[in-house]
Each structure stands twice: as C-alpha cells, then as structure tokens.
Chain A
Amino acid sequence: MVSKNKNPENPEKDGVSRRSFLQGAGAAAAAAGVARIPETVIAGQNGVATPEVLGPEAESIQLKVNGADKKASAPPSTTLLDFLRNDVGVTGPKRVCDRGSCGACTVLLDGQVVDSCSMLAIDAVGKEITTVEGIGTPDNLSRLQKAFIEKDALQCGFCTPGMVVSCTALLEENPKPSRNQIREGLSGNLCRCGTYQNIIEAVEHVSRKGG
C-alpha cells in the first residue's frame, strides 16, 4: 500500500507536514504573507516564536523538477501544483479538485507520492520532484507507461498523469502487489471515464514481468 506519508511518526522527514501546509493554505486563501515556521519549532514544540516571514510579494523559488533546476518568481503562498503548471510550465500534473481528493496532481517528492495541490512550492525546496514527465518521455517510455498504452488504461487522459505517478510509486514500493494492494494504491486517484480495471491490468502486467 502506498501511503501519502511514508513516515507517519515523523512527518517532518517527508517535508509535507500538515502544519506547514495548513499555515500556507490559510495564507493562500487570504492572499497574505506566509509565516513559515521552522521545522525544528514544529518538531520540538519549544515555543520559539520567531518565524521567518515570507511574502506576500513574489520571491524567487528554485525547485528540482525531473532532475532539472526550475526557477521562477512566485508568491510564497503558491502551491506546488500552481508553481509547476503556471510558473515553470510543467503541465503534466493536472488541477482537477484542487484540494487533495482526486490525485490528478500527484507527483513524487523524494520518491513519495504527494498531492501537489495541497502543499506549497516553498516546502518542496531542496527535494527531488518527479512529475509524469520525469517517469518517461515519448521516446523513452517506462514499462508502466507502455503497459498503460497496451492495456488502454486511459480514455480522456486527464487523470492519467496522476495515475502513472501513483502506479510507479506503488510498484517501486511493492513490485509484486496483489490486486487488492493495487486498488488500495490507486484509492487516492479518481478517474471519471472508468479506466480502473485497465489500470489494474497494466500494473499487473508490469508486475508479472518483474516490475
């Protein structure tokens, strides 16, 4: 099973702590500045109340996306998804529900699946971000992408980038998943056209061939 957070006991390791996200989300809604509380403060609960204040003006943000450095100027309240799509032109991840309930924006953050709509770009600084574009390219498709094509695991294709990323992480974590484990691994990704069974077949196809 792929969880959105591999280390529930130590959320800071994944850099997508609920607390820093909520701080950011509140600020984004109000279009105000973001008080980014240092991780040591959240982890230690020491009550040191001198957060570094960023924004609301745009700041230069540099992220490592699919192995390349991508830099743009954006308000610190910008979500990772919006930064990828609007600021650095990586449009594989899709904005569908914009609140972490559909998985169309799924990317990998240091190998872990995250909903990029539900975290801030600044929280991804220093992490390896992998979008669907980084899984495989038209000239160099991954085995999973090939299986998606062969099994017709896509219709309109709008959920597909998120599905490909989630399934890639699933197989990375568990190269021989059972059918139920695949279903669980996909449970954060919605498809409206109805490709679930084809996606399961595509994952099983790769898994049988030795992931």
Chain B
Amino acid sequence: MPKEIQIKVGFGDQFRDLTVRIQDDDVKPWQPGDRLNLIGQSTPRVDAVAKVTGTANYSYDQKPKGMIYGKILRSPHGNADIVSIDIDKAKKLPGVRAILTAPEIFEDESARYAGAEVAAVAADTEMQAEAALRAIEVEYDIKPHCVTVEDARKEGAPQVGRGEQVNVARISPRQRRGRRGSNSDMDERLARQEAAVGKVIQDSDVVVEGEFSTQVQTHAPLETHGSVCSWEDGRLICWASSQATFGFRNELTSNWGGVRAKSCQILSEYVGGGFGSKFSAGREGVLGALLAKEAGVPVHLMLDRSGEQLSAGNRPDSLQQMKMGVNKDGVIQGTRIRSWGTPGTGTGGAGAHNDGIYNIGEVDKIEYGVRTNTGGAKAHRAPGWPQGAFALEQMMDMAADEIGMDRVEFRKKNDEHPIRKVEYDIAKDRIKWNRSLTRNGGAEICQGLGIASNLWFSAGGGGASALVRITKDGQVEVRNGAQDIGTGTRTVMGMVVAEELGLEMNQVATRIGNTDDPQGPASGGSTTIGTVTPAARLAAFHAKKELMEIVADRKGWDASELDLKDQEVWRIGEGSTGMTFESACALMDDDAIEVLKGRPRRNYEGFSDTNAGVQAAHVEVNQATGAVKVLKVVAVADAGKILNPLTSESQVRGGVIQGVSFALFERRIMDRQKGRMLNDDFENYKMLGSMDCPEIDVVLLDVYNGKSNTQVMGLGEPPIVATAAAVANAVSDALGVRMYDLPITPKKVLEAIAKRDAAKEVPAQKKGERL
C-alpha cells in the first residue's frame, strides 16, 4: 500500500508543496532545511586513494595463478566471407594452449568490416600468442565494400550486408515487416505529414534550412574492453571491464556464443572508463571465457588499442537536413528533418536527436540507418544527442539571426523547461553574453560566443537492491553489485548510507562491482545513481530502524522517538541521548543486522521529469591558420538533488571536455579504397589534451525534485549534449559564417572563410568594382 506524504519540490526561489504517494516502507526525501551532514557536501571519492597510488586493481591488472594471454586475429579486409581457417601450424607453436575460430563460435562466416574477429589464441606469453595469430592461415572471399554513408547510399553501391539486407533502411518511423499493406499505409501517412508540415513551413514569416554533418567518434576508454576469465569447478569467475556487471554475467550464462556457464561471477571493482561501450561482454568476452575453458587455465584477454578502435564501439556519424519555418514573433512553426547515419554493418541506432529540447512546431522527421563496412556503433554518452543538438542549435542561431532576435531570447521563446529558463540567464551572465568582441571575422584573431542546451531524463528506476550490514562491533558496509566506471557512484552510495546512519564517510565501507552482491543496474542512460542510491538509503533506513528497536528494547525507550545523528543515538526533537553508535551496536544479540532492500520500482510525482542545462562557449579563431581555441565553457547543470558537488562537477567537466573534443578534433578516418580505418591508434586519432582544454566554469543547481528518496538524477550524459553545438555556434559567431560540419578542423575553417569572402565579392563585382 502506498502512503501519502507532503513534500516541498523545486529549486532556487521556486518551491511548491506537493502531496506524493510513496511506497509504504520508503523514507521521505530530504527536505530543504533538513540538517544534513554529508549530502550536498563535496566528498572525496572512497576509491581515490587506491587510484592515486596505483593499488586499484582493474581487470587489466589481474593475474590469477597460472594465467596465460589471449589475443584476437582480425580481418584485414573491408568486406569478406571467411572460406577456411587453417590453425594447424599455429597449434604447434610453443606455448599455444587454445585456438578458437569465430565462424565456429558465433556461427557467422562473414567478416563484414576490417577488424572483424576471425580467430582467437591463448598462449603462455603475449609474444607467443601474437606469433600464433601470424601463423593462422585464413582464406577469404573478398567482396566490394562501402565504408562511408556517401558511398553506401549511391545507386548500385556494393551490398554491405548479406542476403536480403539493403544498405539504407528507414529506422524512424520504422519500416514494418510482415503485414501486407502496412508499409504503404505508412508511406501515405508520411506523405501527408510531409505535405502538411511543408505548408506550415512555407506559410511562416521566415524559412531557414541547412545540411549538417557530424563524424564518427570512438569511445576510446583508456582501459580497453576485455576480461580475465578463470573456471573453477564449472563456475566462471570473470574480472571484466564492464559497465553492466549483471548484463555481462547474463550473457555468459546464456546460450550466446556457447559459454553457458552454469554459474558465473563478474568482478568489476575498478573499470577504466566505458562511456556507453561496455554494456555487453562482446565477442571478446565470449572468446576470453571459452579460451580459458579450453586451455584449462585463466586467460587474460584485453583488446589492444587497435582492436579497441576498430571494433569496440563508436558514436555513429550523421547527415542531417533541417528546414524550419519561424514567425517574426520568434515562435517556431514547423520543422522538416531528414537524417542518415551509419551504425556499422547494421541499420539501427544511428538516429540523431535533433527534434528534442525546444518546441519546434509541427515536425516531419524521417531517419535512415545506413549500413557500411565499418566497426559497429554502440551507445555513446548521450547517444544521438550531441550530433542532433549540433544541427538543431545551428538552426536556432540561423533562425534568430534571420528574424533579428537575440539568440537567447529566441530560445526562451520556444522553451518551456522550468529549470532551463533560469539557467539561460546564469549562463549569459557568466560568459558575459553582451560583451563586445571582435566578431564576424573582423580581425585576423576574432572571437565569438555560442549557446546551446541540454536535456536528459534520468531519475533512475527499479532494478537495484542494496545490502546494508551493521555489525555488533559497529562496522558498517553497503553492497551493490553494479559498477562505478569513474562516475563516483560508489562514493555517493556510501554517502547516503553514512548520512542515514549519522556516521562519517570513513565509517562506511562500500562494496561494488561483484555480481554475487545484490542486483544493480547498467551504467546507462545516466540512471545508475538514481537507481542505486534510493535502494542504499532505504536499506540503511531499515537497518537503523532495527538497531533503534534493539536500543529501545534494552533501554525501555520508544523506538519511534529515536534516530542516529553525529555518531550518537538521538531522541528526535530533543538531542543526543549520549549513547554512541558503537555502544548501540554492542547491544545486539546477534553478530549483525543485515537489511536487503530493493529500490521502489516507480518514480514519484515530482518537480520535473527531465533535467535541463545550458552551456555557453567563448572561442578564439585564427583566420590565418584556421585554428580554433575554446577559451571558456560555462556549463550550467542540474541533476535533481546534488549529492556530491565534487564528483558532480567532475562529471560536467568531463562531458564538456569530450564535447569540445568532438567539436574540434575527433574523427574516425576510413580509407575508402582499402576499406579500413586509418587511425586505429592514439597518434592519429586526435583527442583533446591538456593544451586544448578550456577553462570550464560549472554551475550546479540543486533541485528538490521529489522523484525518489534521494531525489537525484544522473549527470553523466546531459553535459555532453550541448557542448559541441555551443562551440560551433561560437565559431560561427566569430567568423560571420555558419559551420555545418564537425569536427571544425583548421581546413574547414579556412574553407568557410573562403566561402564567406567569395560571397562578399559577388555583389561588389556586380557593381563593377574591382577588389
């Protein structure tokens, strides 16, 4: 039975009372004015000491007794079928203990991109494994390839896939299969929609349009994908670099790839980054587990950097055609969108979120997925959003300029988000929006400002339990089996338990990344913190209740009047009883109190279902060299209740840095002739470094959103949405010419300048003037 409680929701000076129905055993969300010891205070990470001293043991660092090394052989061809694999010579080489072939394991003879897995070897040393890979003889049936969207969309382009698979498929609205007639119904509906929205746009005061493109970006976590697998009496123990420990386990106990472990434990205490690429065990996870099984000893199979860049995930590219009708009062009337992107050899998952964030009137949007012979895309920190925001935010500036309205005022006019409305003004103020700069290409070194918005939806949900254990000698531990990929989840899990029990951080031990512990979520959709922390708080609350009942029983007090604060037992409303936490624990008859609680499945009604955010960028462009320098990014962010400002700020900074890197540097470069990625390394895949890092000014808004007992929302993804868009707008502002294509390399800047200057010359020449 749910119970009704009264809470305050809101932020800043906008609070309101709300009656919410919460799960009957749940605890009331913290309220403004509550005396909190840790929550809202910057708290160093609980695993920081291990990380700064090199004692944090990642999967890559594991070395169980008898461990040998696994390596993967990859196809060098853009598109091929594997005809045969001869492993006889390799098998006889020194140190070789197991060899597996991909067609056999995955029942798939195709190698549809350069980098596709062909075989895997386990040997005593890495050098022996590499020698064995070189000795494997593979016969390929090499087929023509397409490695770019442009090539794959061409009439008569080589087929990327197999069988009936076409290169280009409509993915939204989805092409239906099976039911006769349904596709033509859909086609008719889309035609009507196109005509109707086309008319709305045409009837608007002003029409703007543009074609925008973004590049493929690889995740490039510093710890590559892979695992160290050890079979012990039929049970698989697997140290995995994973951002979904339970998903990883479920794959290895399933039929997929034939691992079928009867019992499996995933250990991921430390994970060297994921950014969306580490949800699945992947083929490397399956091969590692099976090599270990066949070799009869533990196998270390972590990808090398090339394998990581080729096969372990990327953000799909995009080509986005946008057309927008706007009235002079600033209200957007309608928008037509067509977009294409390649998720690799499949068609799904390459959409661009270019119709979110603002009210953009009537929408006519169709998205296509394009197969190419390239490594597969994976969810990449806010999948589809940075690329969509880039196109949308360029359009917003173009439209604002066209009707002569301030670019921020124009956004406000088409935005109803209650938090973002406040965030615009903070961003404007911090970036000094109205300052005078040498804009529009007015000097060799010119500067510009740009603004863009975030949107996210991440209050968490069901699917996590936490175990809180308080021992008779006063030790406290909280456990959840999910992972911390660098976000700080482990620390906030400890914080909410310490807060609930009135303890300091160093009195609560945390255990994560172990699937023998209670279920936890994947680190996806920025939902981890909102899923794990309410479970941890709830478990701590009930453990405290049990302890208070023991104290009340022994002392003849009323348990409902007792609470824990400042490491002592308090009488609510009166103050400390003088009994310490340790002496309270010593009253237990049993060794410990253990409480396992699941997170309430539903989120409660609250202030806002989404988090917002606004970013403003200040850039400098050298018109002689085309070099862009991002001087400063103001990032105004909100994520419900800010539990740990220190790690929250780090999340935002990280999002901004990856966003700037996406805007200016990163891109997968494919060789169209050879069909292979050219920069599958860190020398030629340029990422932002310390010299390129802008000053980042983070402003965090603390929002009591009431969605759960910790009221927190995730902050991993939202801050990367706006950055590239804001940077591109700032570059356009500095140059006086629109940037349509990411990354904004010096070459593209110089081309844009040349185009701008050529356009200026045309009217001059018409007048017969000479320049």
A residues sitting closer than 8 Å to B (CB atoms) are: 28, 31, 75, 77, 82, 85-86, 89, 91-99, 101-102, 104, 131-133, 135-138, 141, 145, 148-150, 152, 154-161, 164, 182-184, 186-187, 189-200
Contact = CB atoms under 8 A, between A and B. Distances in A.
Contacts of A104: 222
A192 B485 CA distance: 12
Contacts of A101: 681-683
Nearest to B650: A152
A200 to B, nearest CB: 8
B222, B654, B658, B691: which has the most chain A beta carbons within 10 Å?
B222
B127 A31 contact: yes
A161 B55 CA distance: 9
Contact of B646 (A93, A145, A152): A152
A82 B126 contact: yes
Given A141-B52, A155-B486, A192-B273, 12 more contacts: A91-B61, A92-B53, A92-B54, A97-B683, A132-B52, A152-B48, A158-B223, A184-B690, A189-B690, A190-B689, A192-B222, A200-B690
B49 interface: yes
7 contacts: A93-B54, A96-B222, A99-B305, A132-B53, A132-B54, A137-B55, A154-B48
B44 A149 contact: yes
Given A132-B54, A197-B653, A192 B691 contact: no
Contacts of A28: 127
Interface in B77-132: 126-127, 130-131
B305 A158 contact: no
Interface in B648-691: 649-650, 653-658, 681-683, 687-691
Contact of B51 (A77, A85, A160, A190): A160
Nearest to B696: A197
B54 A161 contact: yes
Contacts of A92: 53-55
Contact of B305 (A89, A96, A156, A197): A96
A86 B653 CA distance: 34
Contacts of A193: 273, 486, 650, 654
Contacts of B44: 149-150, 152
Nearest to B655: A194
A84 B562 CA distance: 55
B512 interface: no
Given A99-B683, A104-B222, A137-B53, A152 B45 contact: yes
Contacts of A152: 44-45, 48, 646-647, 649-650
Interface majority SS (helix, strand, loop, mixed), chain A: loop
B305 A154 contact: no
B695 interface: yes
B56 interface: yes
A66 B192 CA distance: 73
Nearest to B57: A91
A157 B658 CA distance: 16
A68 B53 CA distance: 17
Nearest to B219: A192
A161 B220 CA distance: 18
B530 interface: no
A141 B650 CA distance: 22
Contact of A160 (B52, B57, B63, B647): B52
B304 interface: yes
A192 B693 CA distance: 12
B273 A194 contact: no
B620 to A, nearest CB: 15
Given A99-B683, A192-B222, A94 B60 contact: yes
A92 B51 CA distance: 9
A133 B690 contact: no
A194 to B, nearest CB: 3
B53 A192 contact: no
B48 A148 contact: yes
Given A131-B54, A132-B53, A158 B272 contact: yes
Nearest to A85: B61
A194 B305 contact: no
A136, A152, A154, A186: which has the most chain B beta carbons within 10 Å?
A152
A141 B53 contact: yes
Nearest to A56: B127
A186 B57 CA distance: 24
Nearest to A184: B691
B487 interface: yes
Given A97-B681, A136-B53, A156 B691 contact: no
A113 B710 CA distance: 45
Nearest to B51: A157
Contacts of A91: 54, 57, 60-61
Nearest to A154: B51
Contacts of A184: 690-691
Nearest to A144: B52
A31 B57 CA distance: 29
Interface in B688-710: 688-691, 693, 695-696
Contact of B49 (A98, A149, A191): A149
A43 B658 CA distance: 44
Interface in B532-567: none
B222 A194 contact: no
Nearest to A91: B61
Contacts of A199: 690
Interface in B31-83: 44-45, 47-58, 60-61, 63
B271 interface: yes
B54 A155 contact: no
A196 B690 contact: yes
Interface string B404-439: 000000000000000000000000000000000000
A98 B304 contact: yes
A85 B302 CA distance: 14
Nearest to B62: A91
Nearest to A75: B127
Contacts of B222: 94, 96, 102, 104, 156, 158-159, 190-192
B270 interface: yes
Contacts of B485: 156
B657 A194 contact: yes
A89, A95, A136, A182: which has the most chain B beta carbons within 10 Å?
A95
Contacts of A161: 54
A133 B223 CA distance: 19
B49 A141 contact: yes
B384 interface: no
Given A152-B45, A154-B45, A159-B222, A138 B50 contact: yes
Nearest to B54: A92
Nearest to A78: B127
A60 B752 CA distance: 60
Contact of B682 (A75, A94, A102): A102
Contacts of B61: 85, 91
A136 B55 CA distance: 11
Give the top 9 A-B pairs by smallest Cβ distance, nearest first. A92-B54, A156-B486, A194-B657, A158-B272, A194-B654, A157-B51, A155-B486, A132-B54, A186-B690
A196 B223 CA distance: 18
Contacts of A149: 44-45, 48-49, 52
A154 B273 CA distance: 11
B221 interface: yes
B652 to A, nearest CB: 9
Contact of B650 (A95, A159, A183, A198): A198
Nearest to B43: A152
Nearest to A161: B54
